[in-house]
Amino acid sequence: MLNRIRNFSIIAHIDHGKSTLADRLLQTTGALTEREMKEQVLDKMDLEREKGITIKLQPVRINYKASDGQDYILNLIDTPGHVDFTYEVSRSLASCEGALLVVDASQGIEAQTLANVYLAMDLDLEIIGVVNKIDLPGAEPDKVKEEMENVLGIEQAEIIPISAKLGLGIEEVLEAIVANVPAPVGDIDKPFKALIFDSFFDSYKGAISYIRVVDGEVRKNDIIKMMSTDQDFEVAEIGVLTPVMTEVDKLRAGEVGYLAAGIKNVADTKVGDTITLANRSADAPVPGYKEIKPMVYCGLYPIENNDFEKLRDSLEKLELNDASLFYEPENSEALGFGFRCGFLGLLHLEIIKERLEREYDLNLLATAPSVVYKINLTDGSEIFVQNPNHWPEPQKIEAVMEPYVKASIMVPNDYVGTVMELCQEKRGNFITMEYITTLRVLLTYKLPLSEILYDFFDSLKSRTRGYASLDYELDDYEVSDLVKLDIMLNGDIVDALSFIIHKDRSYYQARAIVEKLRKIIPRQMYEVVIQASIGNKIIARESIKAMRKDVLAKCYGGDITRKKKLLEKQKEGKKRMKQIGQVEVPKDAFMTVLNIEND
């Protein structure tokens, strides 16, 4: 039985056609009819389709009759492509024995191709090379194959040229999976043992876990035990994803599927936990995932103060679906009660915020993101600060350190100069430069994480006409000359607008922010003075004149309905504002501190 199962992922640089290939595999094997087929079937969330990216990993079972005449079960675990979600990639890879490596025939190897291949190699996965988009006019499959052999050590002869869009080479890919990906190893006679590699919350069934069964088998009504918490649950439903949820009698060693056990508390199905049976327990858990640490933090606050509890519930539910999400309650003088949340990156932040707003019907405000700073205090102790409002008094600070990343940037050699310039501007330290091919260069820089987070990627893309690609991993902390910049409205510091910045950039940035706030805060009944300060020193100032006109010149019988609607709409508009002291501030204001350089 086990030897008829193949568990595999697809890895690729973003936009190299991973989701299209997944769609095509489903279609070719008849897992979906033409009618059910819509683009990016596996990207379930509206957000994913809109943004054209994969955020959540997504397993699906494919039945395939191979050319050897045998029926196989292929479990495909889709993976996200954006660098923010590397953690999700590593989790799905851990549930597989093989990976399809997709490389675009006109783009060649990119920074994330490398990063993903290294992840797969670390896990000893069998890698099957695929060159995609061979139908495109600019395709150079032979050149890309050569690159893959030289850089990644994949033999050219083994690499399959395909066009996922046109459905070319799909059979060959399926055959290669059967032939080359090792069958899972596992012992059907041992006690049931399964790894939770993802989970989500269903309002009818409770928490649903995606599992990879390592040993033994599980059936409906079995009493299972979560090994990290020792909690018992009765299995209510097990099944596979085809990709629709389809109930089955049992899940056995080597198989991938889902499990529901009426689990109400989301914290009881931790991703990375091992499930076993209560009365016949496995002796040791599967090695889980290393606990991921968020790279960037920000405050999320409900616009309506009484939505705080609703936000808490929503975060709890989302957390189940997103193991990398971190949150804890915090209190802002300006914004009231909210949560300090940790994210893998800015895209992750944006997506979580949008999901909370769409799926849980919340109206949220996000404060400026911050990385985690390390501060040595004069009393000899060391603290970590991810909230600018916890920044110590300057006189208590011995040294401040900020996180740096090691960034790999793949770029055509024509653009090396401009990329180096950009890295320099972003306070980067050059490490190495390697020629991957005669025309393509891999630059390695150490850069402050805070500089990468905001607009680095956009600048990189625009300066290289889209040709550069980026991957990065957290490196270590380095001493840096950082200060806390406060923004004041009518003389009062707005804690939610404070942020940490390199001293050399503080004046420029302060002026830009104050100017921008002047533009986006509407006129109020009173004059509003906006100031930026470091410590007690004001370094920038703008003012918004008091509103002088808010009147309907004409109001007679014929148009009163329309005028009333206008007033009501304006009143609604005020709900998108946050009252801070006497000042009404649009909720976007809190993110603007980020977007200064894009203007």
Partner 1 sequence: MDLLEVKTMGLYIHFPFCLSKCSYCDFYSIPLTNQEQIEAYILSLLIEIKLQADYYQDFLIKTVYLGGGTPSLMEDRQFFLLINTISNNFKLADDVEITIEANPKTLSEDKLKSFFTTGLNRVSLGVQSFYANELKILGRNNKLTDIYETIALINKLNFKNYNIDLIYGIPFQTRESWLANLEIAISLNPAHISAYLLQLEPSTRLGQRVLNNEIIMLDEEMEEMMYYDSIDFLAKHNYQHYEISNFCKHNYQSKHNMIYWHNSPYLGLGVGAVSLVGKERCINKPEVVEYINCLAAGYMPPREVLEVMTDKEIIAEAIIMGLRLIDGINIKDFSLRYNIDLLQAYKQPIRECLDKKLLNMENGHLKLAKNAYFLSNQVFRQFIGD
Q: Which residues bind partner 1 (CB under 8 A)?
A: 523, 525, 545, 547-561, 564, 567-568, 570-572, 574
Q: Which is nearer to partner 1, 380 or 557 (CB)?
A: 557
In a 13 Å sphere around the CA of 335, the CA atoms on its Cβ side amount to: 31
Strand ranges, E, within 160-252:
160-161, 193-202, 206-215, 217-219, 223-226, 232-234, 237-241, 245-247, 250-252
Alpha-helical regions (H) of 444-502? 449-451, 457-463
**CA–CA distance, 214 with 237 (Å, rounded to integer):** 19
Exposure pattern of 456-467 as b/e (b: 16+ CB <10 Å)?
A: bbebbeebbeeb
Q: Which is nearer to partner 1, 156 or 363 (CB)?
A: 363
> Minimum CB separation from partner 1 for residue 314, in Å?
24
| Cα–Cα nearest to 275, from 199, 347, 180, 343 | 199
> Minimum CB separation from partner 1 for residue 490, in Å?
16
Residue 564, token pair as written in the block: 């009333």
> Minimum CB separation from partner 1 for residue 526, in Å?
10
In a 13 Å sphere around the CA of 461, the CA atoms on its Cβ side amount to: 8
Q: Which is nearer to partner 1, 264 or 569 (CB)?
A: 569
Instruction: Name residues whose C-beta falls within 8 Å of residue 432's C-beta, 6 or more positions apart in sequence.
Output: 442, 443, 444
Region of 66 on the Ramachandran plot (φ > 0 left; ψ -120 to 50 alpha; else beta): beta
Q: Which is nearer to partner 1, 157 or 551 (CB)?
A: 551
Q: Which is nearer to partner 1, 204 or 556 (CB)?
A: 556
Instruction: Name residues whose C-beta falls within 8 Å of residue 420's C-beta, 6 or more positions apart in sequence.
Output: 430, 443
| Cα–Cα nearest to 437, from 151, 107, 130 | 151
Q: Which amino acid is at 416?
A: V
Q: Which is nearer to partner 1, 244 or 552 (CB)?
A: 552
Q: Which is nearer to partner 1, 232 or 559 (CB)?
A: 559
Q: Which is nearer to partner 1, 290 or 569 (CB)?
A: 569
> Minimum CB separation from partner 1 for residue 567, in Å?
5
Q: Which is nearer to partner 1, 35 or 571 (CB)?
A: 571
> Minimum CB separation from partner 1 for residue 552, in Å?
6
**CA–CA distance, 197 with 253 (Å, rounded to integer):** 15
> Minimum CB separation from partner 1 for residue 544, in Å?
12
Under DSSP, is residue 193 helix (H, G, I), strand (E, B) or coil?
A: strand
Q: Which is nearer to partner 1, 230 or 572 (CB)?
A: 572
In a 13 Å sphere around the CA of 467, the CA atoms on its Cβ side amount to: 16
> Minimum CB separation from partner 1 for residue 530, in Å?
19
> Minimum CB separation from partner 1 for residue 399, in Å?
50
Q: Which amino acid is at 4?
A: R
> Minimum CB separation from partner 1 for residue 514, in Å?
22
Residue 336: C-alpha distances to residues 221, 330, 353, 485, 581 (Å):
46, 9, 18, 21, 12
Under DSSP, is residue 346 helix (H, G, I), strand (E, B) or coil?
A: helix
> Minimum CB separation from partner 1 for residue 150, in Å?
56
